[in-house]
Structure formats: C-alpha cells, structure tokens
Structure 1
Amino acid sequence: MNKLLAMGMLSLIIIGITQYFDNSELNLQQRFEIYTRKYGKFYGPSEKIFRTKIYEERIKLFEAHNSDKTQTYTMGENQFTDLTQEEFESIYLRRRSYQKQQFENYVSTSETNLSSANWEGLTAIKDQGQCGAGWAFAAIGAVESILRIDGITDKDLSEQQLIDCDLESQGCEDGNLDNALNWVLNNGVTTATNYPYTGKTEACKRQTGLFQIKGYQKVDPNQMQPAIIKSPIAASVDGSSWIFYKSGVFNRCSFEEFNHDVLIIGFKDDGTWIVKNSWGQWWGENGIIRLPKGNSCGIQEQSFIAYA
C-alpha cells in the first residue's frame, strides 16, 4: 500500500513538473507574440520558429544576468532581442574603422569648475531604424545642441539630408563624424520636416539648408568634460556589446574598432558618461546609456564639438 502511495505521489510530481515546463514554455511563446507586435515584426512559419528560439535564449540570459547582484547594469528586451549578434552588427553598426586625420583641437576657455553636466532632454531621442547611420544622428545631435543652446533654433534637423547628400560618407552603409560636420559647415542643413527621415539611402533632394555651424573641433580626452559643459559632443565608439543594455552603468565595454557614433550629453561627479544613442526610446534608459569614466568603449578616442 505504501509502495502504491509512493508511486502515486511520484506520478503527481512528474505531472506537475511537466505542466510547469509546459506553462513556462507557453508563457515564453506568449511573450514572444507580444514582443513581435510591439516592435512590428512579422515572420513566416519557419523563421518564426528560429526567432522564437533566439528570443527564449535571450530571456533566459537576461534573467540569469539580472539575478546576479554583483552586476552594475541590467539587460532587457528591445528591438534586437530576436537577432543574432552577427545580424545586429551587420544592420546597425558601421562597416569600417575610423579615418585618422588631423583636426583643430578644442581648448576650453571657460573657468567654470562644474563637477558634472547633463543636457538630457535638450534634443530628442531618435531611432535610426535598420540604417547604419549612427554617424548622421550623432553629428546632427551635436549641431542641434549648440544651435539650441545659442538660441538659434529649436527645430529637429535632418539626418536624412546628410545620409543622401554627404557624398564623402556612404549613407546607411558607413560615414564619419568629421565628414558630416564638414558638410553642415559648408552647406547648412534643413529641418527634419523639410527633409523627412526614410531610413534608407536615396538621391539627394536638397543640397543646402538654412542652419549652419561656424566650425567644429576635435576634443582631446583631457578636454571632454569642459567641452560637454559647453555643449554635448559627438563621439565614435565600439557599440558591439551594447545590444541588450537596459539600465545602470554598463561595464562590459569592448574596444576593437569604431563601428558606431553617439552623442555624449553629460557626465556625473564620479566621471560616469551619460550618452544619448539613436536606437529609439525602447533601448536602454529611454534611449540613453551610462558608461564608466575613462575611455569606455573607445569613447575618448574620436569626439567632436560644433560651434555656432
């Protein structure tokens, strides 16, 4: 009798475990359905199986990472969750390394001794979509910033004009911050309303714009904080490891090559960088990532400030 009872209890335990895993699996499938609707993703039957598997693996990775109390940042869902690392890099990051040139260097003339700065909210969080033109968004961010600070305009300016018209760059395939800023210096840039974003490289429709800068300068590492006190600065980084960042101070930087560009909008009193990205509000801290002080992800190697 005791043997039968034990076998019965064992059967109930096995059934319970099976149901648990079935429900767990069902929940992940439901989450994936919600995820695809949220980000407007549509897959055929075979690809859906492939993407679901990637998504499930990512969710397990996030849960394991976020349960580790020693971590300084969290991972979470975003538009990249069902992509492979190779897909993410080929679509959203630049294809080649930065061109090393000689530039006029920024030298601070301010006697301000601020220990921190934060220009968050000065310019809008934007989304480059499936176009590797972080260079255009970072450059336009630097131009928009100084024009707003100087009271010249508060309009959103056109990244698409740079993508189409800056022939020194390669549109959604590649581009450099200095080429982009030089184009705005020589030609001016129009508003995003006049030249809307399409997320793909097209023929240039407008060669000039009303809004110009008077120049731009390279910012050396020891001048970055004084420069950011004056205005946000555009910087090249290695963004390969940023794919699943959600919040906190990201301490898993890699720096093998420049493949992305961002706008540094501030720093904290401990030196932490506050960085505005162009992957939309769903990514990171409402579009922002925080990096440790110093040359995290190569952020101090190639940065530029515009002046109006």
Structure 2
Amino acid sequence: MNYFLIFLICFVFVVSTNHYTENEVELLFSKFKSDYQKSYLNPNEEAYRKAIFEEKLNLVQEHNSDPTKTYKIGINQFSDLTYEEFSSMYLSSLKYPNKKSEHEFKQESNLEDKSNNNNNNKMKGGLKSNPANLWRLLGFDVTEVIESALAKDTGVLIELAPQEALSCTYKDSSSSNPDVTDGYIEVPSSWISDGWQTGCDGGNACDVFQLYALYKTITSSQLYPYADADGICQTYTNYVELSSNEVYEWGYGCNKESEATLETLVANNGPVSVAIYASSTFESYTSGAFASTDCYVNGETNHAVNVVGYLNNYDGYPVWIVRNSWGAGWGQNGYIYEL
C-alpha cells in the first residue's frame, strides 16, 4: 500500500507539470507577439525568441503548480528575453554607502494598514511608461517620491522631471570630494568641468535626494522633458520650490535600517525610495505575496522602486505595497506586494 501511494503521488506531480505542445506554444507565441506588438529581424531571431518564450511558459506552469509558492508569475512584455538580456536592458548596479543620515525617526508600533489611498490617487509613479533601455534609471524613482511628497503637502500633483536628475548626474572616479559616493555625485550645472561624465546607468538615490535637499528646487517635466539620453545639465529659473521638510535623504538602502523604521516612515511621511534585487521571478510577477528565493548575494541590489504602503494581512501575509516603473501592464497594475 505504501508503494502504491508513493507511485500515485509521483504520477500526479508529473501530470501537473506537463509542458505545452508545439501547437499550443505556436498559438500562445502568436498571441504574445500581437499583445505586445513584437516583431523580429529575421526568422532565426524569431525562432530564438520563441524558444525563450517556450521556456518561460514552462517555468510559469511549474511555478504556479507549486502549492508552496505564495505568489504567481506569468507572461508579460519581457517573456522573450533571457534574464541576462533583461538585466542588461532594465536593471542596473546600484551602489549604496553604509552610512547614517542626520535624520532620525521615532519608530511606532501597532500601526494600522497603510494602502496609501490618498497618495495613490495623487501620483502616477508605477504607471509611467519609461522608454526602453532607460527604465532602470534612478531619476524616475527619485522624482516620483518627491512628486508624492509634494502632492501630499499641497494637494496638487505636479509631474516632475527625471531628466534633471539624469542630466545632472556626474561621475569622477578621481575626485577626493567626501560627498562623492563610490564615484557618483549629483551636481548642478554650475559644477560642470572637464573630466566629468554623465551616466545613465544607475547611480545612487541617496545622492540625488541630497542634491534636491541642498538646493530645494526641482523642475517640472513640462519645462525639462524626458530626452531618452543623458543630455547636458540645464538650469531653469521657473522651478518648483521645495521646503526643508518636504525632501531629504534618509536612505533605507543607505542605512540598512530596520523594517519597523521603514514602516513608520511610510505611515507618517509617504512613499520611500528603496533599492532591491529584482530576480527572474520578480520580472515575471503577476499576483500574490512575493517572496523571492533568488536572494541577492552580499547585499547586491539592481533596481530602485518606491514603497508606498503596507498591509498587515494580504492573503494571510504582511506585505509591502511597492510601486515599480515598468508600466501598468506589469505586475498588478504596475505594483507588487512583497513579503
């Protein structure tokens, strides 16, 4: 009897993870190309992308058939890319110092759920559709947090300019300036000199916040539109004023503070910028309470997002409500719920 039960269990498992037939893959790939307006250079390229897509289909089926998983993954706009390709196009190496901020926060306990309905109604964060190859940039992450803070303070949503943060980001590895973190520093155009280089690839959100906290001004996207490139740092006299209590650098990623402190920050101050490691399953997330087993190594991070709220009980789990920057077609309308 015991042998029979073991055989039956194994048989049921094999049946539940059957892969798709060739015809099913063909139909699903055709639908994928139509849904996401995909086109390829030649038949060889299409065959290569189809093979990747089929592998993703099988991974989705296997993952979603596992009753121990707390979340689901699915097909999305990235499903014809390998994880290596996806990483090079949409993720970035984010360098954060191990430092303490001047700002200290009193932790609170027994905080109520914060889904940030007021904030979500006033901000466009994760719903922005950023151009390919530059979605990874910190400019969007930082300006969305400041947009939310301004909206919370004034009741008016002003779309700010991520291009300002991108164009005014410089790297000078030879600098002895103590404010330079791992070679990155955000500077106004008046600091431009020979030897400084602009950089689209990542950077440091803490330094970006320090820039805006120092100068207490930020430009709207109407005046400083997105240029799909680094560009030259511009200055404008018609800018948005920031009071001293509206923007400052604290840095959950910088300080590696406790989640209790982050909870207090989100509850009392609104959205917070954090650095995370976006794994291959994060890339394909569709629903549920996300808990990645592909954890970062030695504190590695490769993506910047906004924590906009938390729920103490979401499908039985306490979760962070995280706003991403890959458009409303990703995740749950641009958001992910993370353990």
User: Is the TM-score greater than 0.5?
Assistant: yes
**Aligned amino acid, residue 188 of structure 1:** T
Deviation at 1:289, TM superposition (A): 0.9
Deviation at 1:196, TM superposition (A): 2.4
Matched-pair contact (CA < 8 Å) for 1:89–1:240: no
Q: Secondary structure at the match of 2:56?
A: helix
Q: Secondary structure at the match of 2:312?
A: coil
Q: Which runs of 4+ in 1 moved over 6 A?
A: none
2:302 counterpart of 1:259: yes
Q: Deviations over 1:11-58 (max 9, x none)?
A: xxxxxxxxxx9x942342233233234333321122111001101110
Matched-pair contact (CA < 8 Å) for 1:108–1:227: no
User: Which of the residues 83, 86, 110 maps onto 2:84?
Assistant: 86
Between 1:158-167 and 1:49-58, the stretch displaced more is 158-167
Structure 1's unaligned 5+ residue stretches are 1-20, 293-308
Q: Secondary structure at the match of 1:141?
A: helix
Over 3 Å counting, the alpha-carbon distance change for 1:205 and 1:30 in structure 2 is farther
User: Which of the residues 152, 157, 162 maps onto 1:159?
Assistant: 162
**Aligned amino acid, residue 240 of structure 1:** S
Matched-pair contact (CA < 8 Å) for 1:184–1:213: no
How does the TM-score come out when normalised to structure 2?
Answer: 0.72
Deviation at 1:200, TM superposition (A): 2.8
Deviation at 1:161, TM superposition (A): 1.8
Matched-pair contact (CA < 8 Å) for 1:106–1:223: no
Q: CA RMSD in A?
A: 2.5
Deviation at 1:119, TM superposition (A): 1.9
2:330 counterpart of 1:283: yes
Determine the C-alpha separation between the residues in 2 that align with 1:205 and 1:152: 28
Matched-pair contact (CA < 8 Å) for 1:133–1:163: no
Q: Identity of paired residues, percent?
A: 30
Structure 2's unaligned 5+ residue stretches are 1-18, 171-184, 187-197
Matched-pair contact (CA < 8 Å) for 2:286–2:332: yes
Q: Deviations over 1:182-209 (max 9, x none)?
A: 2223262222232222433222344563
Deviation at 1:134, TM superposition (A): 4.0
Deviation at 1:152, TM superposition (A): 5.8
Determine the C-alpha separation between the residues in 2 that align with 1:97 and 1:175: 6
1:58 aligns with: 56
User: Which of the residues 219, 226, 240 maps onto 2:279?
Assistant: 240
Between 1:150-159 and 1:198-207, the stretch displaced more is 198-207
2:262 aligns with: 224
Over 3 Å counting, the alpha-carbon distance change for 1:249 and 1:213 in structure 2 is farther
2:250 counterpart of 1:250: no
1:127 aligns with: 129
User: Which of the residues 201, 206, 210 maps onto 1:182?
Assistant: 210
Determine the C-alpha separation between the residues in 2 that align with 1:212 and 1:268: 30
Over 3 Å counting, the alpha-carbon distance change for 1:99 and 1:42 in structure 2 is farther
2:13 counterpart of 1:29: no
2:223 counterpart of 1:194: yes
**Aligned amino acid, residue 262 of structure 1:** V
Between 1:261-270 and 1:198-207, the stretch displaced more is 198-207
Matched-pair contact (CA < 8 Å) for 2:323–2:336: yes
Q: Secondary structure at the match of 1:79?
A: coil
Matched-pair contact (CA < 8 Å) for 1:143–1:213: no
Deviation at 1:288, TM superposition (A): 0.7
- The equivalences for 1:142-157 within 5 A come to 142-151=145-154, 153-157=156-160
2:65 aligns with: 67
Between 1:141-150 and 1:94-103, the stretch displaced more is 94-103
Q: Greater Rg, structure 1 or structure 2? A: 1
Q: Secondary structure at the match of 2:76?
A: coil
